[in-house]
Amino acid sequence: MGVHGLTTYVEGNRQFFQDVKFKDSVLVIDGCSLFYRLYFNHSLDQQHGGDYDIFSALLDQFFSALAACNIQPFVVLDGGRPIAASRCADISVIW
């Protein structure tokens, strides 16, 4: 779930934004938005089994570009299946 209307606003008001050199840093990425941008903006076919080979190549290209700039990505995915209560004790978060 994102910010309602943010993409439309950004795409319609590019004069408020500027390109910057971003390198040697950490980047948190919304996984759902990344999927949408890479998959649907390249008109990949979601029917007939999907264009997963092309999608995989797009992911490789995207993450290679980040690596070339020494950017460490953290992709956050939400909306997954809830974790069973019995497994909660087995899961830890490492920072």
Strand, helix or coil at 10? helix
Convert the pLDDT of each residue in 24-60 to its tens digit.
999 999 888 898 888 877 878 777 777 788 888 999 9
Regarding pTM above 0.75, the answer is: no
| Amino acid 13: pLDDT | 92
Residue-wise burial string across 25-64, b where 16 or more C-beta atoms lie within 10 A, e elsewhere? eeeebeeeebeeebbeeeeeeeeeeebeeebeebbeeeee
pLDDT range class, residue 93, cuts 50, 70, 90: low
Alpha carbon distance 77, 70 (integer Å)? 22
Domain ranges of the chain: 19-78
